[in-house]
Each structure stands twice: as C-alpha cells, then as structure tokens.
Amino acid sequence: MKRWTTVLGRGGTVLIAISLGFLLVSIIPQIQMSRHEGSGPLSPGRIRFVFHQQNLNPQQEVQVAVTVEGNLTVYLLEISAKLEFTPTTGFSYNFNVTDLQEVLQEHPEQIIWEHEVENGDYERSYTPTRVMNATVVVYNPPDSESAYLEYNVALKSSLAPGDKVRTIVYFAAPIGLILAMPWFLNVWKQRKQKYRKSPRYTSSVKEVL
C-alpha cells in the first residue's frame, strides 16, 4: 500500500508540474502574423474577399472585425481560393458569386460560420481543431441595397491552443492534487515522527518540563 501511495503521489506531482507548465504556455501573448484591413462600397450581388489562409492550424487564430452600413453577410468558409491574374480584371480570386451560391446550397459543411450584419459592428474569432483552409467572404445579396464595409482581419499565432490547454489544466491539476495528497501527508507524518525521535526534540521537551 505504501509503495502504491508513493507511485501515485509522484505521478500526481508530475501532473501538477505539467499543468503549471501548460498554464504558463497558455498565458503567453499571441504573435500577430498578418493583418488585412480595408473599406469601400459593396454593390448588390457582389462578394468581397477579406481574408484567405491555407493550412490554418490549431495554433493559429483568425480574428474578424467588420463595420457595416447597410446589410451584409459575413462567411467563414473552408475553401481554397487562388489569387489569379487576368488582363481585364487584374488580380482576383478564382471564386465568384456563383461559387458561393454552390457552397451555400450544395456544400453547407464548408460553412464554418455565417452572420448577417445590419448597420453595426461584428467581431468574431476562430481557432481550428485541425489543419484546414479558411476564407472570409462578405456577401451583399442581389435583392439588397448597396452597402459600405470596413473590415479588419488579423491572423495570430500561439505556442499552443489556449482554450484546449486551459481545459487540460482544469482537469489534470485537480487529479494530480488528489493523487499526490496522500503521499504529501505520508511524507509530512514521517518527517514529524523523525523529528520527534531526534535529540533536539527530546531536549526541547525536557526544557519545557
């Protein structure tokens, strides 16, 4: 029994140490990798790309902030869009309104989230659970009026996914404490008994008596 108490206790101290390490990692400030800003009118039936990232991973976070005058819908899509050059339009993404409608109607699983913004501000962040492509698109429906858009999209990176790491800490630290507590008490009792048997303790008791 004593042996198992020692083994479990040391395992508990390891869990506590790992939890503290993860907690320190989770509070390290994120590093901004890129920022995309812009503004301008958006006509009915048109879309605007405001962000695209290939191989977005769980250590990265997309932070989206938009201000809208009018009525627009913001989409975060799991699609891969390429920037291409044509003599007539210059650089543009190979993804248009028709492609967006196809995604909305036939591939809803590629919609990570969507939100309609009407005359106001909207902010949202997203951290993936796996490596994926991510594209933020703003859409003005054909039956709507012309709207004005201001956007600010930041890509930030951290050493580890903060939410996941904190979840691990919240579970691992209490378990480690429960496992280590009997061992801590046993060590404390042994030291207390050892001290009572020491000449220093005996002499101090005699002086009191």
| 164 pLDDT tier (thresholds 50, 70, 90) | low
78 and 18 in one domain? no
167 and 96 in one domain? no
Domain span at 17: 2-25+163-197
Count Cβ atoms below 10 Å from residue 151 Cβ, excluding itself: 22
188 and 132 in one domain? no
For residue 146, is pLDDT > 50? yes
36-89, pLDDT tens digit by residue?
Answer: 899 999 999 888 888 888 888 888 889 999 999 999 999 999 887 665 545 655
Rg of the chain taking only CA atoms, in angstroms: 29
97 and 20 in one domain? no
How many structural domains compose the chain? 2
33 and 21 in one domain? no
102 and 175 in one domain? no
DSSP 29-74: PPEEEEEEEEEEEE-TTEEEEEEEEEEE-TTEEEEEEEEEEEEEEE
Going by C-beta distance under 8 Å and a sequence separation of 6 or more, which residues neighbour residue 7? none
148 and 85 in one domain? yes
CATH number at residue 134: 2.60.120.680
Confirm whether 56 is domain-assigned.
yes
13 and 56 in one domain? no
Confirm whether 73 is domain-assigned.
yes
Confirm whether 209 is domain-assigned.
no
Confirm whether 205 is domain-assigned.
no
109 and 176 in one domain? no
101 and 13 in one domain? no
Answer yes or no: pTM beyond 0.75.
Answer: no
Confirm whether 204 is domain-assigned.
no
114-142, pLDDT tens digit by residue?
Answer: 999 999 999 999 988 889 988 899 999 88
